[in-house]
Amino acid sequence: MPYIRFGFEMNKTEAMSKAITLQEFIMDTQAEFPFVSGQLTRLLTDIGVAAKIVNHQVNRAGLAGILGESGSQNTHNESQQKLDVFADRTFMRILTAGKSVAGIGSEEQENYILCGDQGRSGKYVVMIDPLDGSSNIDVNVSIGTIFSIYRRVTPLGEPLSDQDFLQVGTEQVVAGYILYGSSTMLVYTTGSGVNGFTLDPAVGEFFLSHPDMTFPESGTVYSINDALLDAAPQAIKQFIAGCRETKGLGLKGRYIGSLVTDFHRNLIKGGIYLYPSTTRHPEGKLRLMYECNPLAFIALQAGGLAEDNTGEILTRQPSHLHERSPFYVGSVNMIQGLRSCWISKEKTS
């Protein structure tokens, strides 16, 4: 896909060799949105700013006395880390201060937040996992933020309602993540390809570093928490057994335990991430609105696939804000391999 800058087209190599900032890119690609909106441009810019603030705090966490548990629990009865709380507050503060957002659903908040006058103004609804992989904070392993943006459903001028927050994944207008890793990256899609930006800490800017990201068609990495396998569906067991048997084909098992990080690696190297339903948690662990759907939207835009136990996850109608789902995402060949395991198990059962 060509990149337009100041009215000129450039190819992928040219784009990487220029210092295109996130802000410039957002402005220059604004015309790609199915509807041109200054509000969406501003909202994306705000996310970039919040990302830099959280990144700064993540980088100095060991020094600043903000490692460890905060002493509180979130709505899922999981103990919150201090950085979970900091990241949540930062995104809330910045997103509610802009004029574009009508409401926010956060993994860390029991109920959705309405901005301004009951969410009457602002065209967009944001869903966010402010800090993903928080069990990895204390051990200096990469963590992330996952976000997605929807257009409001209720007419402007009316208060937002549940239906604004319970939209199917195909309705996303933007999905993205920030990875606080060996370098900090912001990756996002507006439904027209996936682009990645790397933060230059000296300059304090995100620069386009990974234009037009695509999943290698033929993945070689499989990522699953091995301890879940005994309690996972037969199809998952069969698929993983197949991965283990392919001696000589170079398949690798890699599991970091931060979804953003596992996903990002698989996007670049080619692979599949699996978080199955288990006998104890038939609904899975990951959250549909904050984790699965944004990454599913990115995956499809990058030429990959994303599913739950029954098929394409993006068309699933959510019934509540914090709904969980089994999640399988990655390169086409590996998701298709998993599909054939589901089909063969259906035939034998």
- 262 contacts Mn ion (rule: CB under 5 A): no
- 132 contacts ligand AHG (rule: CB under 6 A): yes
- 164 contacts ligand AHG (rule: CB under 6 A): no
Nearer to ligand AHG, 22 or 58 (CB): 58
Cα separations (Å) of 267 from 255, 296, 334? 14, 12, 12
Q: What is the largest CA-CA distance in the chain?
A: 61
Measure the N-to-C terminal CA separation of the chain; round to a whole number of Å. 45
Number of residues that bind ligand AHG (CB under 6 A): 11
DSSP 8-state class, residue 337 = H
The token duo for 188 is 């996002």
1 within 8 A of 192, measured Cβ to Cβ: yes
Nearer to ligand AHG, 27 or 66 (CB): 66
Q: Which of Mn ion, ligand AHG, none has residue 258 at its interface (CB below 5 to 8 Å by kind)?
A: ligand AHG
Q: Which of Mn ion, ligand AHG, none has residue 257 at its interface (CB below 5 to 8 Å by kind)?
A: ligand AHG
DSSP 8-state class, residue 291 = I
Question: Which of 64-72, 127-135, 276-284, 303-311 is the region at the interface with ligand AHG (rule: CB under 6 A)?
Answer: 127-135
- 132 contacts Mn ion (rule: CB under 5 A): yes
Site for ligand AHG in 235-264 (CB under 6 A): 257-259
Q: What is the DSSP string of 5-58?
A: ETTEEE-HHHHHHS--BHHHHHHHTGGGSSS--HHHHHHHHHHHHHHHHHHHHH
Q: Which of 22, 54, 80, 129 binds ligand AHG (CB under 6 A)?
A: 129
Least distance from C-beta 232 to ligand AHG, angstroms? Answer: 12
| Residue 212 CB contacts under 8 Å (≥ 6 apart), including other chains | 1, 12, 193, 194, 195
- 173 contacts ligand AHG (rule: CB under 6 A): no
Q: What is the CA radius of gyration of the chain?
A: 20
Site pattern 44..83 for ligand AHG (x: CB under 6 A): ----------------------------------x-----
Q: Count other C-beta atoms under 10 Å from residue 335's C-beta.
A: 21
Nearer to Mn ion, 107 or 308 (CB): 107
Question: Which of 51-59, 129-137, 326-334, 336-344 is the region at the interface with Mn ion (rule: CB under 5 A)?
Answer: 129-137
Nearer to ligand AHG, 274 or 335 (CB): 274
Q: How far is 81 from 51, CA to CA, in rounded Å? A: 18
Site pattern 80..109 for Mn ion (x: CB under 5 A): ---------------------------x--
Residue linked to tokens 């549940």: 162
Residues that bind ligand AHG (CB under 6 A): 78, 107, 129, 132-134, 225, 257-259, 285
